[in-house]
């Protein structure tokens, strides 16, 4: 058999498969109607396992894994169709719709909490996100969450990801512990500068005060100046504050240019980060949900059962819905050994009924599921 003949055979088989697929999905509709009438749930793990076992036993061992993978995809499509019949008015779907309907409006002249001191990158992000905000400073990221929880601020600004260094793990771990909504996101361009006391030169510097992530982002610069030793601190602006207090020409701070004016320092070198596109993604959190008309990003937190394929099956539902995942982060679940909490971002809006239904279905099905917000995020 030549290539054309083989392809013609495949085309003929495809025609038969399409016809069988249509018949199968029509049968699925009958199952869905029955389940809805009798108050049954969509996912029946025992039935699914039995089908996959039968498929595996029905083909040659060499093709068994391929066949199971195909049937897993078919069953995901079947469940998606069933949900469109059964779960369009489920408690979870209604809860999502209620959240969207009752979303509030932005607070004018808000109180905004950030970690660090004046000149910190979080401070710069806060000023961009809330130009008319009254900004207060917290010692730790956890304190931002506590300030929000205790009503000491209207919004809290937190870094969640850097384009060079990746996720801010500590913030993700804190997100699991508090109740909040994400109402804004902003990718802040990060341009690191080396600041010293007045009269200092780059040749004088022996110690650089900064946070480890910022130092890492400027690794190439410090490889060229190996005599400069890192002194870790809690925040880049705190580094500038400490250098100004020391008054030592051998000490410098790696931080934002804004810190030079704030703390009376000189710029010894600027834009020394390795990549010109370096940016940190900041989020604004609130006790109350806000969904702007131009909302384009949705964030979720959930856990999954510790069984084979659970993450794949969950993510496949977003793919079937044509939704683009932009971030998935996993963190250890301290409540259960070797299980994880997942954080998911995707482009979308609750104004799309199919998206609201998908999230509502997940709300119904997962033991832990938190809708974190539907907000606007500009492109980096």
Catalytic residue ranges: 280, 282
CA distance 113 to 234: 17
Residue reference for tokens 């963190």: 331
Q: Is 133 left (phi over 0), alpha (psi -120 to 50) or beta?
A: beta
CB 85 within 8 A of CB 28: no
Contact 193, 270 (CB under 8 A): yes
The SS3 assignment for 208 reads strand
Cβ atoms of residues 152 and 145 within 8 Å: no
Q: What 3-state class would DSSP assign to 361?
A: helix
- Name the burial class of residue 121, with classes exposed (0-12), middle (13-18) and buried (19+) by CB atoms within 10 angstroms of its CB: buried
Residue 43 in tokens:
């996912």
- 122: its two tokens: 């979080």
For residues 160 and 281, is the Cβ–Cβ distance under 8 A?
yes
Neighbours of 281 (CB within 10 A): 21
Kind of pairing between the strands at 111-115 and 134-138:
parallel
């Amino acid at each position: 058999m030549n290539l054309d003949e083989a392809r013609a055979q495949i085309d003929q088989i495809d025609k038969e498969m399409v016809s069988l697929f249509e018949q199968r999905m029509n049968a699925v509709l009958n199952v869905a109607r029955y389940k809805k009438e009798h108050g049954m749930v969509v996912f029946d793990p025992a039935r699914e396992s039995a089908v996959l076992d039968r498929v595996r036993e029905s083909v040659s061992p060499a093709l068994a894994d391929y066949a199971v993978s195909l049937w897993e995809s078919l069953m995901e499509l079947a469940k998606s169709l069933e949900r469109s019949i059964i779960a369009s008015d489920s408690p979870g779907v209604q809860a999502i719709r209620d959240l969207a309907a009752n979303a509030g409006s932005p607070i004018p002249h808000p109180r905004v909490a950030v970690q660090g001191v004046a000149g910190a990158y979080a401070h710069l992000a806060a000023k961009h996100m809330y130009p008319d905000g009254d900004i207060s400073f917290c010692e730790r990221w956890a304190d931002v969450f506590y300030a929000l929880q205790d009503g000491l601020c209207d919004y809290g600004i937190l870094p969640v990801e850097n384009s060079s260094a990746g996720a801010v793990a500590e913030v993700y771990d804190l997100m699991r512990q508090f109740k909040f909504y994400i109402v804004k996101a902003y990718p802040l361009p990060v341009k690191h500068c080396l600041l010293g006391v007045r009269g200092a030169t780059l040749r004088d510097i022996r110690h650089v005060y900064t946070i480890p992530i910022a130092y890492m982002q400027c690794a190439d610069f410090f490889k060229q100046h190996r005599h400069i030793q890192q002194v870790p601190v809690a925040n880049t602006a705190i580094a500038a504050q400490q250098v100004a207090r020391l008054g030592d020409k051998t000490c410098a701070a790696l931080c934002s240019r804004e810190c030079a004016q704030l703390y009376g320092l000189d710029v010894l070198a600027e834009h020394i980060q390795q990549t010109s596109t370096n940016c940190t993604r900041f989020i604004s959190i609130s006790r109350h949900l806000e969904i702007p008309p131009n909302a384009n990003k949705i964030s979720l937190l959930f856990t999954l059962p510790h069984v084979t394929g659970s993450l794949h099956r969950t993510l496949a539902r977003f793919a079937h819905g044509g939704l683009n995942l932009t971030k998935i982060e996993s963190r250890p679940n301290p409540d259960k050994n070797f299980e994880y909490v997942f954080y998911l971002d995707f482009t979308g809006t609750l104004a799309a009924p199919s998206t609201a239904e998908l999230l509502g279905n997940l709300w119904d099905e997962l033991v832990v599921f938190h809708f974190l917000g539907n907000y606007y995020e500009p492109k980096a």
